[in-house]
Amino acid sequence: MHRYSEPLQIDEVNLPKPKGEEVIIKVGAAGVCHSDIHFMHGEWQKTLPVKLPLTVGHETAGYVEEVGESVKGLAKGDVVAVFGGWGCGVCINCKGGDEQLCMHARWPGLSQFDGGYAEYMHIPSYRFLIRANGMDPKMLAPLTDAGLTPYRAVKKIRRMLNPGSYTLLFGVGGLGCYAIQYLKLMSPTNVIAVVRNEGKARLAREMGADHVINSKTEDVISAIRKITENRGVDVSLDIVASRDTLDVGFASLGKKGTLVLVGLMGETLNVPIMQSVINEHKVIGSLWGNYNELAEVIALARKQKLKTPINQFNLMEVNKATETLANGKIDGRAILVP
Ligand SMILES: [Zn+2]
Ligand SMILES: [Zn+2]
CA 136 to chain centre: 19
CA of 149, nearest ligand number: 1
Q: 148: CA distance to ligand 1 center in Å?
A: 10
| 110 part of a folded domain | yes
Residue 267: predicted pLDDT: 87
Q: Mean pLDDT in runs of 10 for the chain (338 residues)? A: 96 95 98 95 91 97 98 97 96 96 93 96 98 97 97 96 97 93 97 94 96 96 98 97 94 97 90 95 97 97 90 97 93 94
- Tell me, yes or no, whether 281 and 153 share the same domain: yes
Residue 266: predicted pLDDT: 87
User: What CATH number should be reported for the domain holding residue 275?
Assistant: 3.40.50.720
Closest to 56 measured CA to CA, from 115, 127, 7: 115
Residue 96: predicted pLDDT: 96
DSSP state for residue 122 in the 8-state scheme? E
Pick left, alpha or beta for residue 133 (phi over 0 → left; psi -120 to 50 → alpha; otherwise beta): beta
Closest to 244 measured CA to CA, from 150, 166, 171: 171
Q: 124: CA distance to ligand 2 center in Å?
A: 15
Q: 57: CA distance to ligand 2 center in Å?
A: 21
- Tell me, yes or no, whether 275 and 167 share the same domain: yes
- Tell me, yes or no, whether 76 and 118 share the same domain: yes
- Tell me, yes or no, whether 71 and 43 share the same domain: yes
| 13 part of a folded domain | no
Cα–Cα distance for residue pair 58/143, rounded to 1 Å? 11
Cα dist from 238 to 76, 202, 269, 275, whole Å: 40, 19, 12, 19
| 295 part of a folded domain | no
Residue 207: predicted pLDDT: 96
pTM of the model: 0.95
Number of domains in the chain: 2
Closest to 167 measured CA to CA, from 248, 242, 261, 232: 232
Cα–Cα distance for residue pair 291/232, rounded to 1 Å? 35
CA of 262, nearest ligand number: 1
Domain that holds residue 104: 23-134+308-337
CA of 333, nearest ligand number: 1
CA of 97, nearest ligand number: 2
- Tell me, yes or no, whether 106 and 165 share the same domain: no
CA of 60, nearest ligand number: 1
Tell me: the pLDDT tens digits for 2-29? Answer: 999 999 999 999 999 999 999 999 999 9
- Tell me, yes or no, whether 221 and 325 share the same domain: no
User: What CATH number should be reported for the domain holding residue 71?
Assistant: 3.90.180.10
Q: 261: CA distance to ligand 1 center in Å?
A: 14
Cβ atoms of residues 165 and 139 within 8 Å: no
Q: 159: CA distance to ligand 2 center in Å?
A: 28
CA of 100, nearest ligand number: 2
Residue 332: predicted pLDDT: 86
Q: 287: CA distance to ligand 2 center in Å?
A: 15
Residues by chain with Cβ below 5 Å of ion ligand 1: 33, 35, 145
CA of 175, nearest ligand number: 1
Cβ atoms of residues 103 and 90 within 8 Å: no
Q: Which residues contact 81 (CB under 8 A, 6 or more apart)?
A: 60, 61, 129, 130, 132, 140, 141, 143, 144, 294, 298
Residues linked to residue 222 through DSSP beta bridges, in sequence order: none
What stretches of the chain show up as alpha helix (H) in DSSP?
34-40, 92-95, 137-142, 148-157, 174-186, 198-207, 220-227, 243-251, 273-279, 291-302, 318-326
Q: 175: CA distance to ligand 1 center in Å?
A: 9
Residues linked to residue 130 through DSSP beta bridges, in sequence order: 81
- Tell me, yes or no, whether 318 and 215 share the same domain: no
